[in-house]
Chains A and B, each alone.
Chain A
Amino acid sequence: AQKITQTQPGMFVQEKEAVTLDCTYDTSDPSYGLFWYKQPSSGEMIFLIYQGSYDQQNATEGRYSLNFQKARKSANLVISASQLGDSAMYFCAMKDSSYKLIFGSGTRLLVRP
């Protein structure tokens, strides 16, 4: 069965520093997509970045990059130059062809000034 694991319930990072949020996944499907979402206190899930299972290069979106290691089944999110507004819950998610996202338990990131 598909599964997403985020082992860091909470993380602190100093403003302007980089931070890595861990995510491992498990699936037997050769075709899948990996996503990261940000959820601020308002509740809305904000799409950050996507990585396809067949993509050769790591995805990047502005200050966000995804460190995709397929053999290790990991898809860590790297946020560079952290800002105070980055404080939020971050969810890793996986999607196969079954029309649904499977989410990890999330990591709460707090950016210190």
Chain B
Amino acid sequence: KAGVTQTPRYLIKTRGQQVTLSCSPISGHRSVSWYQQTPGQGLQFLFEYFSETQRNKGNFPGRFSGRQFSNSRSEMNVSTLELGDSALYLCASSLEDWGGTNEKLFFGSGTQLSVL
């Protein structure tokens, strides 16, 4: 069974640009969540989608947005990039449909975004 696939693996952008990252979950998984990882702030929750609906959102500005398609694939978009947006963006998928505390999240390898 294929794991969580994130594309692209690396991305270099300049300030002010926008970027779209893609995530394909494990087959059969309907929940997709996104995390930002930086050396200073660690791993922070961005948002979570289930059946094309955003169920929870972290404390990030409106420049960060996402969506989920009917096939559970997800994209996140960052508009008007800032230097501080440079980070590893990790996508995770899980089966869960009721917010169970025992649902394991399976992560992709991430997209390393560098903003110059």
Q: A100 at interface (Cβ–Cβ under 8 A)?
A: yes
Known: A33-B101, A35-B104, A100-B33. A43 touches B48 (CB 8 A): no
Q: Are B99 and A97 in contact (CB under 8 A)?
A: yes
Q: B16 at interface (Cβ–Cβ under 8 A)?
A: no
B33 contacts across to A, CB distance below 8 A: 99-101
Q: Are A44 and B109 in contact (CB under 8 A)?
A: yes
Please give me the residue from chain A that is nearest to B99 by CB atom.
A97
Please give me the residue from chain A that is nearest to B4 by CB atom.
A44
Interface string of A11-31 (1 = CB under 8 A from B): 000000000000000000001
Q: Are B101 and A32 in contact (CB under 8 A)?
A: yes
Q: Are B110 and A43 in contact (CB under 8 A)?
A: yes
Interface string of A44-65 (1 = CB under 8 A from B): 1111001011000000000000
B40-68 interface with A by 8 A CB criterion: 42-43, 45, 48, 50, 55-56, 58
Q: Are B109 and A101 in contact (CB under 8 A)?
A: no
For the complex, give the distance between the alpha carbons of A96 and B110 in Å: 24
Contact size range, A:
20 to 34
Q: B92 at interface (Cβ–Cβ under 8 A)?
A: yes
Main secondary structure of the interface of B (DSSP, over half): strand
Interface set of B (CB-CB < 8 Å, partner A): 31, 33, 35, 42-43, 45, 48, 50, 55-56, 58, 88, 90, 92, 96, 99-110, 112
Interface set of A (CB-CB < 8 Å, partner B): 31-33, 35, 37, 42-47, 50, 52-53, 91, 95-106
20 A-B pairs besides A45-B92, A47-B104, A96-B101 with CB distance below 8 A are: A32-B101, A33-B103, A42-B109, A43-B110, A44-B110, A45-B107, A46-B107, A47-B105, A47-B106, A97-B100, A98-B99, A99-B31, A99-B55, A99-B96, A99-B99, A101-B33, A101-B35, A101-B105, A103-B42, A106-B42
Could you pull out 29 A-B pairs where Cβ atoms are within 8 angstroms?
A32-B101, A33-B103, A35-B105, A37-B107, A42-B109, A43-B88, A43-B109, A43-B112, A44-B107, A44-B109, A45-B92, A47-B104, A50-B104, A95-B103, A95-B105, A97-B100, A98-B56, A99-B31, A99-B55, A99-B56, A100-B33, A100-B48, A100-B58, A101-B35, A101-B45, A103-B35, A103-B42, A105-B42, A106-B42
